[in-house]
Structure 1
Amino acid sequence: MARDEVEEASSNELSESTPEGKSNPEFEATLLKDPDNVETYLVYGDWLQRQGDPRGELIALQHAASKAEGAEASDLKRRVTALIQKHQALLLGSLATPWADEELSLEWHLGFIRAARVGRKEFNSTLDVSETVSTLLAHPSARFLKSLTVGIVTADGGNDYEDVTQAIIQAKGSSTIQSLFLGDFDYPRELEISWTYLNGVSGLYAALPHLRSLRLRGAALDLGEMDLPELRDFTLETGSLPLAVVKSIASANWPKLEKLEVWFGSRYHGAEGDVEDIQPILDGKGLPALKALGLCNAEFTDELAKALPTAKVLPQLEKLDLSMGCLSDLGAKVLADNAEAFKHLKHLDVTENTLTPEGVKQVAKLADTVAAGNQRNYDEDERYVAVGE
């Protein structure tokens, strides 16, 4: 929407008053179609300032800050922070309390929240994370939210994300989200992965039709039938991957996926599946855009080493991650004996496996760059992955 259209939008009485301030459906509809159009934000900001809404000044200040350098940029950023604090009742509403308590962190972009992280800062916190997520997604300031990260929900009886997932599914306006991370905590310092329950997440697929990045960390997961046609990046970090989830991933519909990273875990903690269960992935089935593949934290890394040289997906890969598993010198020798199959790789990661210095030497030149640090002791009778609990 060009600047000369401002008067027309105003004359058509497209504005509506809300407790949070003024809004103009025409401008917002245009931004929803093209959320990166800076010109439309500036035109909307002009209109908001004419209505006396401080969000208009915030848009102008943030745009100026993005163009400034040095001391001028620092000064403008301070003014942005001061403006948000001054008008937090309008710009944040009830979100002001978790924001002040640093349990809600926000990244603003031209007057609106572009990215947010919600999570308990302390174990004795009383923050209702799912309610905060609901409030955030319903707030006008998050109208164009693109990224949502959720940290610790509760430590009482386990860290459970089911209510958070339901809050996202039920929220209005959440279709703008392109990146979602459930399980942003420091393990094992804050929590063990096995103490976190992701539960069923399949309802998110339809609720977030523009999702491009999905990262999940925890256990007790049910992915269901995965239909994510816009997804580019999927990461699942766990110490106990059940067979049903392995099959969901192997049969997923994500034709634009560029990066796939899966942690399998320890059979002692309930991990299931083997090379034959991920054969569709190795065959590149439904993965025409895949460039980075991580088959991590697996007890069967040596078996993977045997299957990878002839895997149909390998020639299209730029990065291969076999970290945190049970790769031994035997598996390293298989990889080295098939060096020709891997020479096109830009990066190979075999960190935190069970290689001796000789094994590290065998894989050191398989790709342009090879990461092979933090190796663990090899024990043929007791092989274990890096992350189990």
Structure 2
Amino acid sequence: MTIGDHLHALYRLPAHPFPGPDARKQNLPDADAVAWRITSDVYDAHENWTAAFARFCDAVDTTRVRALIVGAWEEAYDTDPSAVIEALVAAKDRFPALRALFLGDMVMEECEISWINQTDVTPLLEAFPDLEEFGVRGGSGLRFPALRHAGLRKLTMESGGLPAEVVRGVAASDLPALEHLDLWLGTPEYGGDSEAADLEPILSGARLPRLRHLALRNSEMQDAVATAVASAPVVARLEVLDLSMGVLSDEGAAALLAGQPLTHLKKLDLHHHYLSEPLQERIRQTLEPAGVEVDLDRDDADEDHDDDGTVWRYVAVGE
């Protein structure tokens, strides 16, 4: 599976594309009523992203803008968004109301997730101390050295493979207001070289006192993650635990059930899994009577079998 749809919303605001240079003149929505999506083209761009952003700044009252979605930039398969980040940082004083930012909203027709080039994205968080939501798509070249951000409430990193250095950077960051953390860990084939031990500072919860929604998903090591989560101190304060989109098997799910109680959760999301029917039934019988919403949809999870008996299982989003 790959990503086929652009973001529909950000910061609870509907996404709205800023018109291209050749679009007919049209009435624009109120600056604070939508999440503005600013984009170029990956292939044969007639206008680069920074030029589109400059037009946006001239056309919209940027002092009222609350959410920005960065779409494609030119040659994203070969070029990182340094110029995009520099333009946003240079314009920081023009966006006093900005509370949400997503970098790299591209679908497969534009650039497969594993092809998207990224870079150090922390200058954006440093430039916008009032940012409450930040998301990034693409793990190739992504960097996230540890930082402190007092206002961030939601952090999302979508990738086919999240570098271990990035996982460690997030884990070492001081994010006292963070309520929602979503990491797509991915596979080694696409750069996801982290191990369950890298998650320990996150699972301890020491730097995340307000965390309520934890998603560690799309992982080839989902059994190891589930085993680590089973005894993690942070779980006791969670409302949502999401271990979906990976190659979770009976081994990991059994370890999860054998660990600390999960009956306090509002939701356990395990969709796209490789669990047997008996194990699925155990999960339902354990959690649903306590009022926990359980997502056990298999989605399109499938497996291949070699002649030698080797079984190949796949994460939901890879290439």
Q: Please classify the TM superposition score into its range, dividing by the shorter chain length.
A: 0.7 to 0.9
1:177–1:195 CA distance, 2 compared to 1 (3 A): same
Coordinate RMSD, CA, aligned: 2.7
Supply the AA of the counterpart residue of 1:262. L
Give the whole-Å Cα distance in 2 for the aligned partners of 1:323 and 1:105.
41
Q: Among residues 306, 309, 314, which one is paired with 1:384 in the alignment?
A: 314
Q: CA deviation at 1:159?
A: 5.9
Asked if the contact 1:238/1:264 (under 8 Å) is kept, the reply is yes
Structure 2's unaligned 5+ residue stretches are 1-17
Aligned match for 2:90, one of 170, 187, 197:
170
Change (3 A) 1:311 1:163: same
Is the partner of 1:382 in helix, strand or coil? strand
Select 1:369's aligned residue among 293, 304, 308: 293
CA distance in 2 between partners of 1:350 and 1:304 (Å): 12
What is the correspondence of 1:1-389 to structure 2 with a 5 Å cutoff?
98=21, 100=23, 107-109=29-31, 115-120=35-40, 123-137=43-57, 141-155=61-75, 157-158=77-78, 160-171=80-91, 172-186=93-107, 188-219=108-139, 220-338=141-259, 341-365=261-285, 366=287, 368-373=292-297, 374=299, 376-378=301-303, 381-389=311-319
CA distance, structure 1, for counterparts of residue 109 and residue 27 of structure 2: 21
Aligned to 2:119, the other structure's residue is in SS state strand
Which protein is richer in helix relative to its size? Answer: 1
Q: Which has the larger radius of gyration?
A: 1
- Once the two structures are superposed, residues 231-276 of structure 1 have per-residue CA deviations (whole angstroms, 9 ceiling, x without a partner) of 0000000112111101111011210000000011111222111111
Instruction: Give the drift of 1:147.
Output: 0.6
For residues 195 and 309 of structure 1, the distance between their equivalents in structure 2, rounded to whole angstroms, comes to 33
Secondary structure of the residue aligned to 2:64 is coil
- Aligned to 1:310, the other structure's residue is in SS state coil
- The CA deviation string for residues 283-308 of structure 1, in whole angstroms up to 9 with x for no partner, is 00211110000001112211122222
Judging changes above 3 Å, is the alpha-carbon distance between structure 1 residues 106 and 278 closer, same or farther for their aligned structure 2 residues? farther
In structure 2, relative to structure 1, the CA distance for the partners of 1:96 and 1:292 (3 Å cut) is closer
Query: One-letter code of the match for 1:195?
Result: W
**Are the counterparts in 1 of residues 163 and 191 from structure 2 also a CA contact under 8 Å?**
yes
Q: What TM-score does the superposition give when structure 1 sets the normalisation length?
A: 0.68
- Further displaced range: 152-161 or 140-149: 152-161
Q: Secondary structure, in 3 states, of the residue corresponding to 1:348?
A: strand
The percent of aligned pairs where both chains have the same amino acid is 32
SS, match of residue 189 in structure 2: helix
Q: In structure 2, how many angstroms separate the alpha carbons of the residues matched to 1:276 and 1:381?
A: 25
The 2-side partners of 1:345 and 1:129 are apart by 42
In structure 2, C-alpha distance between the alignment counterparts of 1:138 and 1:212, rounded to whole Å: 25
**Which segment drifts farther, 341-350 or 373-382?**
373-382
Return the TM-score normalized by structure 2: 0.82
How far apart are 1:364 and its partner, in Å? 2.6
Structure 1 letter corresponding to 2:21: P
Q: Which structure 1 segments of 5+ residues have no match? A: 1-94
Is the alpha carbon distance of 1:375 and 1:314 closer, same or farther for their aligned partners in structure 2, counting shifts above 3 Å? farther
User: 1:113 touches 1:144 (CA, 8 Å); kept in 2?
Assistant: no
| Structure 1 residue 222, shift from structure 2 partner | 0.9
Q: Is the 8 A contact 1:266 1:384 kept in 2?
A: no
Give the secondary-structure state (helix, strand or coil) at the position aligned to 1:221. coil
Structure 2 counterpart SS, 1:185: coil
Superposition deviation, residue 113 in structure 1: 7.0
> Which has the larger displacement, 201-210 or 133-142?
133-142
Structure showing greater relative contact order (alpha-carbon pairs closer than 8 Å, 6 or more residues apart): 2
Q: 1:140 to 1:224 in 2, by over 3 A?
A: same
User: What SS does structure 2 have at the residue aligned with 1:245?
Assistant: helix
